[in-house]
């Protein structure tokens, strides 16, 4: 199985990986952080770590700087004699990798003539569908079914009430302005909530200079998981940490920008979001044509804070209800 892109993309594939590992010996070709996820989510599978140069955001096709020795090392995958090879992306580069690994049955959604590298060309899900539906299609091609996204089970988080706010994202164009996040944190704390702030390394100094004391900067997925395990709710941008939180059973609120919620909302029954504002180029795959991302800039503090507060009240009240229902007064 090939999934070479981001943290959120790999987490969306988790239901498929779990179900497939019950039926097959699975090898996953993914970025090195997959090893951190493996321990928690799919310990039975094998990881082959590979950072594909074409997944870089900038200067991805400077061929002279590609790690050609590592790319050539992928030939060792042929020795495994894979019965099946698959990718749920309609990406010709993935399909070429499957062909190079000499998997006997190669499943994928062809694009730009990449069907020549596949043995079975599958019908691509609707362009408006969630990315999870691609993995549902892969499961059906292998002879099993995955539940609908809304029916996937969620791990309970118990009585945890700490709110984790993560202000980072893979690209700046997905980050709601930090001063607005600071005001959101202050509003929640003023209402008596315990808020843990997490950020990316390039945001750390800003938060420190803003006087934030309850601050962590998880530099690895393992550390991120440790922080999430203390949280009862997650609030953040359209980014990998939100997907990881959802997979850990934590309800999420996502502030979307250039991407569409119907494609990438975290998989959790209590997930909520606010959609980024309209733009003629949306979705833009993070390559914004403007000096600032209006899809996020135009999501006002008042608008976002009101929706977040409703999410917090609703989710924490619903969680507390079963506990209080079993308590009798004097």
- Mind listing the pLDDT tens digit for each residue in 218-251? 999 999 999 999 999 999 999 999 999 999 999 9
Mean pLDDT of 273-283: 93
Residue 65 has pLDDT above 60, yes or no: yes
DSSP assignment letter at 261 = H
Tokens 């019908």: give the residue.
123
Provide the CA 187 distance to its chain's centre, in angstroms: 27
* pLDDT of 301 over the 50 cut: yes
Angular region, 110: left φ>0, alpha ψ -120 to 50, beta rest: beta
H-only helix segments in 42-177? 68-72, 92-100, 132-142
Residue 143 has pLDDT above 80, yes or no: yes
Residue range 130-154: mean pLDDT, rounded: 94
Distance CA 95, CA 43 (A): 26
**3-state secondary structure (DSSP) of residue 90:** coil
pLDDT value of residue 319: 65
Q: pLDDT tier at 320 (50, 70, 90 boundaries)?
A: low
Q: Is 174 helix (H, G, I), strand (E, B) or coil?
A: helix
CA angle 212-261-311, nearest 5°? 50
Domain with CATH 3.40.50.2000 in the chain: 7-151, 163-320
DSSP 165: E
Q: What is the pLDDT of residues 249-262, one digit of tens each?
A: 999 999 999 999 99
Q: How many CA atoms lie within 13 A of 309 on its CB side?
A: 16
Average pLDDT, the chain: 92
Residue 286 is predicted with a pLDDT of 84
Give me the architecture of the 7-151 domain, per CATH.
Answer: 3-Layer(aba) Sandwich (3.40)
For the domain spanning 163-320, the CATH number is: 3.40.50.2000
How far apart are the C-alpha atoms of 193 and 270, rounded to whole Å?
19
* pLDDT score of 324 more than 80: no
Instruction: Please write down the long-range contacts of 90-96, taking CB distance under 8 Å and 24 or more positions apart.
Output: 90/114, 90/124, 92/117, 93/52, 93/54, 94/2, 94/4
| pLDDT (tens digit per residue) in 10-22 | 999 999 999 999 9
């Amino acid at each position: 199985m090939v999934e070479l892109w981001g943290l959120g993309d790999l987490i969306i594939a988790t239901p498929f990986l779990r179900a497939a590992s019950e039926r097959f010996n699975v090898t996953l070709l993914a970025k090195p952080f997959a090893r951190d996820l493996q321990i928690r989510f799919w310990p039975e599978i094998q990881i082959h770590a590979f950072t594909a140069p074409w997944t870089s955001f900038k200067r991805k096709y400077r061929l002279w700087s590609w790690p050609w020795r590592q790319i050539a090392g992928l030939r060792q995958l042929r020795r495994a004699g894979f019965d099946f090879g698959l990718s749920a992306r309609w990406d010709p580069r993935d399909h070429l990798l499957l062909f190079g690994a000499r998997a006997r049955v190669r499943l994928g959604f062809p694009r730009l003539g990449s069907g020549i590298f596949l043995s079975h060309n599958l019908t691509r899900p609707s362009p408006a569908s969630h990315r999870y539906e691609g993995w549902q299609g892969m499961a059906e091609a292998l002879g099993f079914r995955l539940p609908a996204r809304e029916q996937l089970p969620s791990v309970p988080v118990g009585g945890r009430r700490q709110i984790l706010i993560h202000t980072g994202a893979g690209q700046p164009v997905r980050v709601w302005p930090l001063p607005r996040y600071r005001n959101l944190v202050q509003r929640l704390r003023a209402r008596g909530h315990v808020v843990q702030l997490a950020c990316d390394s390039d945001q750390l100094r800003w938060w420190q200079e803003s006087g934030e004391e309850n601050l962590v900067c998880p530099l690895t997925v393992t550390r991120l998981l440790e922080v999430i395990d203390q949280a009862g709710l997650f609030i953040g941008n359209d980014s990998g940490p939100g997907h990881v939180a959802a997979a850990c059973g934590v309800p999420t609120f996502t502030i979307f920008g250039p991407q569409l919620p119907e494609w990438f909302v975290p998989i959790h029954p209590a997930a909520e979001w606010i959609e980024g504002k309209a733009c003629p180029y949306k979705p833009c795959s993070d390559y914004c044509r403007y000096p600032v991302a209006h899809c996020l800039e135009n999501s006002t503090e008042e608008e976002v804070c009101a929706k977040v507060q409703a999410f917090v009240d609703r989710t924490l009240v619903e969680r507390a209800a079963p506990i209080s229902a079993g308590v009798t007064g004097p």
